Structure 1
């Protein structure tokens, strides 16, 4: 969530006085002998756009279904606004769920689809009309009010489902892969529409997705899941720049991970720890620095470590940079042109392949490097992340 200059940054998870809207306390969910959710603890705050991200089968949909009331926790407690909702049936929770299929009523108009839940609650007609018009305006569907779902595009049907879900003013809206049926371009446009609508309504959104770019775009925070456990919960930038494990580093975006043994360097400072990483016989060690602090444990001499570096942090050059902390020579094995950037796969003499990316900032007829070219890969001592697991 971007903030205007001078505004307080939206980060209620860092405020000890803020109370979470949703709390999972030691929640476990088993299906027979299979454990889908394993002793999970998580707080989600009001006005958050929270993303549960992970591969198929990691437990993220089960977590959402427990919030919605479609599954019961085997152990632990789920609180909504401070109240245990374990025994509260789905229709009595102030929670709405938007499914990937949208589940619109094909025989009803857009207007009537949005009004459906309000009519079930027997709201006054004038109140229903006012709320539906408000939702039509919010989702820019006013001129489609009389159409049936089959007369709409995929993106428009998605907005109808969203308007219907928000019409009852839920405290929490759950979105299960809501953009999965849309093509890439429309999905990207709709992500920003979702963010805008969430910010305008102030409703807490929890989205389940396996699309990393989608989670990085829309979420205030991301919970990365693996085998029923939350392995890291943080803001998108921290998840990307400072993953806490190989799993998170590898799952989020492109990355190079090199394994080695760490030795502390004598030129460390109060603010930074410095290490040499012996990673391949006959090669110079990788020089790495990491910020000191409670979150960065000291690494004992000889410990096994994993050095993770993003492709865009690596510089490609014809000559070895004179002041580079790390530099290795290799040959261009493959090139992927992606429009805004190019990805180079560079093979070192020992067979290690390292990915590097360069921005295509100028409109030129030819690339700086091509297949089979000999190049230097270089990066700074702080460009990568040193991981112990």
Structure 2
């Protein structure tokens, strides 16, 4: 598991430094396949030592963007540079870039040791240097005692680490990872996420990972680019993406969220109030984006920000009455689906801090949901 920075360590955030030089510059890049636009005028900077995630649903363009970084596709328009070098016309094998595929693409007839050494041998490296580098990589991925085994003799997680070691053996400036954990089961995938973070931190290599798994991106990445229909919707740290989404799309794509549509009745000192259902109290949240009084907007609030109670919490501005429609018990937390008088279903999550024989709330109970004025965002439609 990656170590937490101490209070005296500088926070890693080169994207906030105007003098920092990006390792990767993507400037006005568009990629078309016939009449289909896979990448639509993207601008993006990625910095040295970053663990950067391209996140989005299938078909959003994230893999096409990665393939252009690797040199397997050519931009229709725009420019990609790596380490201040324009990549136009530079073949994949001439780039200081390596790519790790979801299938791992290990040679089944070669041992773990030989798989890691393969690229170094092709480059004509000295035997002693190859041996030293392979041993270094084996130690890095903790596979020293499996060096002579074939890929079919080791587990899926170990094969993933062999592929990673082979990709890092040539010390690329940039490592591209295409859904690298997709073949692993959930528990192993979660464990391997932290191993990847640790290895990336030790090597200092810039990692760019393509994934559709929100949890994976939020766990490993220093920053995340959320993509949709060939465009980047938001680039920010995982915490900013989760707590300060810039659109309804991003709020809805990342994690669980309650979305309540309404009309803006007031905007004051960075907060907006929304009228959303007849007979219900207006709801207030942090104003985000371009809002106008009387305009349509959407209120977004995470389920864990809500409180549930039997009595009306009159001290809170944001409070909604309803009936419990459904309950989900997930061990560490319970999820309540509460239907309001207007038919809106709002989800509330409560942590189970102690063992219980019976729930405090059950189906069809009348309850109040409430939250603070800063718990949610009012986003333009």
Partner of 1:285: 282
The answer as to 2:181 corresponding to 1:179 is yes
The answer to whether the aligner puts 1:319 opposite 2:311 as a matched pair is yes
The CA distance in 1 between the partners of 2:241 and 2:278, in whole Å, is 32
Separation in structure 1 between the aligned mates of residue 214 and residue 339 of structure 2, nearest angstrom: 27
Shift of 1:297: 4.9
Aligned counterpart in structure 1 of residue 25 of structure 2, from 17, 23, 28: 23
CA distance in 2, matches of 1:125, 1:297: 59
Secondary structure of the residue aligned to 1:111 is helix
Q: Distance in 2 between matches of 1:81 and 1:186?
A: 34
Q: Deviations over 1:232-282 (max 9, x none)?
A: 0000000000100010000000111111111225xx4xxx42332111122
| Pick aligned residue for 2:49 from 29, 47, 50 | 47
How many residues are treated as equivalent by the alignment? Answer: 379
Q: 1:168 aligns with which of 167, 170, 178?
A: 170
User: Of residues 297, 307, 310 in structure 2, which corresponds to 1:305?
Assistant: 297
Matched, 1:64 2:66: yes
Counterpart of 2:146 in structure 1 is: 144
2:365 aligned with 1:377 = no
Q: TM-score, structure 1 length as denominator?
A: 0.96
1:323: how far off?
Answer: 1.1
Unaligned segments of structure 2, at least 5 residues: none
Shift of 1:341: 1.2
**2:271 pairs with 1:274:** yes
Q: Does the 8 Å contact 1:264/1:299 carry over to 2? A: no
The 5 A counterparts of 1:343-362 are 343-362=335-354
Displacement of 1:118 = 0.3
How many Å apart are 1:375 and its aligned residue?
1.0
**Please, which runs of 5 or more residues in structure 1 have no aligned partner?**
291-295
> Normalising by structure 2, what TM-score?
0.97
Q: Secondary structure at the match of 2:157?
A: helix
1:363 match: 355
| 1:79 equivalenced with 2:76 (yes/no) | no
The 1:177/1:297 distance shift into structure 2, 3 A limit, reads closer
1:133-173, Cα deviation, whole Å (9 max, x unpaired) = 00000000001000000001000000000000000000000
1:299 positional shift = 3.0
Instruction: Please state whether the residue corresponding to 1:126 is helix, strand or coil.
Output: helix
Q: Determine the structure 2 residue equivalent to 1:128.
A: 130
Match of 1:119 among 118, 121, 126: 121
C-alpha contact (below 8 Å) 2:290/2:380 kept by paired residues: no
2:233 is matched with which residue?
A: 231
Shift of 1:298: 6.0
**1:264/1:273 contact within 8 Å kept:** no
Question: RMSD of the alignment, in Å?
Answer: 1.1
Question: Within 5 Å, which residues of 2 pair with 1:146-225?
Answer: 146-225=148-227
Change (3 A) 1:298 1:182: closer
Quote how far apart the aligned CAs of 1:284 are: 1.6
